[in-house]
Amino acid sequence: MTSSFRFAVLGCGRIAPKHADSLKKIDGVSLVACADRLPDRAKSYAEKNAIKAFDSLEELLSWGQFDVLSVCTPSGMHADHAVAAMNAGKHVVVEKPMALLLEDADRMIEASIRNQVRLFVVKQNRYNLPVLALRQALDEGRFGKLVLGTTRVRWCRDQKYYDQDEWRGTWAQDGGVFANQASHHIDLLEWCMGDVESVLAKTATHLVDIECEDTGLVILKFVSGALGLIEATTATRPKDLEGSLSILGERGSVEIAGFAVNEIRHFNFVDVRPEDVEVKNKFSSNPPSVYGFGHHNYYQNVVDTLRKKAEALVDGKEGRRSLELISAIYASAESGREVFLKKDSLGSRLGH
C-alpha cells in the first residue's frame, strides 16, 4: 500500500501556486492547509485550492493535521519557520535559498537530525530536461578533465518587482541577484563542476533602489583546478534575456541556454554517439511554461524519499553547499579580495 502524505504551505506569495499545482499531480498526496501573515492572501490561496487557511505558523502547527510543511516565506525567515515545524515533528520542504546565514542552515540540519524528520531544499532546475542530459554525460565521464564552467543570468527585475514586498532586495530577508535569482544557477554550476576552492567577486547596484546588488561577476577556482565564471544581473532591460550554463572539458562541451537553463544549444563530444543527435532534439527545450516546471519532479522525489523508495536529491546538507558558495561570493565582494571557502571567514551583510 502506498503511503499517503498531507502537505501544508507556509507563505502564499509568488511561488506558492507552483507548489500547489505540483502536489495535485502526485498520487497519494494531498494539500490540506496554508498559512500567511496576510490573512487575505491566505484566504485567497485556500479558496483556490479548497483547503484550510491560517493566519500564522503557530496556528497551523497548533492544528497540526499534516505531515509535511512547504516553506515559501522570505529567505531570511526560512530557518525559524523550518526549525519550528521540525520541532513539531513535521518534515520540511524549503524554497531556495534554505537560509541566508550558514549558522541558520546548520541549525536547520541539526533540527532535522534531532527530531528525526526530513529536510528538503528546493532546487527544481536540476530536473530541467537539458540539465538531465548534461548531468548524464558528466556521470558517464564523457567530458574527461573539466576545464571551465560558466553560468549567465540576464534577467529583468524592475522597481515595481522589488516594491511588491518590503523584504525584497534587503540584506536581512532577501539578498540580491546572487542570493535570489541566480541561486539556482549557482547550484547547477557547483553540482556539475564540483566543490569550489576560492572566489573573487565584484557587485554593483545600477537600476533599482534596493540595499543589495542587481549586478555581479564572480571568478571561481574549483578544487579540481578548473576555472569558472558567474555573470548575474536583474538589470537587463526591457525583459529577461537568458539563464544559461556551459560546461567545457577536454573531450566535450555542452551549453544550455534559453530563458531559464531550458534549451540545449551545443552538445558536442569527441566520442560522438548516435544518440547525441536525438539528445539535441529531445532535450532542446522544456515545455513552454518553464517557471516552476521542475517542481513536480522535485516533489515526486520528496514523496519517494519519504516512502523510502529513493534518495533525496537535495537535502539540507546539499542545500547548504550552494549557500556556502553564495556566502563566499558576498564576503569577497565586500572585502574586495579572493576568498577561500575552507579557510576564510564567510561573513557579510547577507542575513543581517
Q: What is the pLDDT of residues 215-240, one digit of tens each?
A: 999 999 999 999 999 999 999 999 99
Q: Taking 90 as the threshold, does the pLDDT of residue 45 lie above it?
A: yes
What count of other Cβ atoms lies within 10 Å of the Cβ of residue 153?
A: 27
Give the tens place of pLDDT for each residue, 70-107.
Answer: 999 999 999 999 999 999 999 999 999 999 999 999 99
Q: Taking 80 as the threshold, does the pLDDT of residue 267 lie above it?
A: yes
Give the tens place of pLDDT for each residue, 104-129.
Answer: 999 999 999 999 999 999 999 999 88
Kindly indicate the confidence band of residue 212, based on its pLDDT and cuts at 50, 70 and 90.
very high
For residues 166, 168, 169, 171, the Cα torsion angle rounded to the nearest 10 degrees is 80
pLDDT of residue 286: 60
Q: Taking 70 as the threshold, does the pLDDT of residue 292 lie above it?
A: no
Kindly indicate the confidence band of residue 283, based on its pLDDT and cuts at 50, 70 and 90.
confident
CA distance 13 to 119: 21
pLDDT of residue 12: 97
What's the N-to-C CA distance of the chain in angstroms?
Answer: 47
| Planar angle of CA 319, 325, 327, nearest 5 degrees | 100
In the chain the domains, ranked by start, together with CATH numbers, are 5-123+296-313 (3.40.50.720), 125-287+321-340 (3.30.360.10)
**E strand spans, 205-350:** 215-222, 227-233, 242-249, 252-257, 263-269, 339-340
CA distance 256 to 219: 20
The reply to whether the predicted model has a pTM over 0.85 is yes
For residues 217, 254, 147, 123, the Cα torsion angle rounded to the nearest 10 degrees is 60
**Smallest Cα–Cα separation from 116: which of 79, 91, 81, 82?**
91
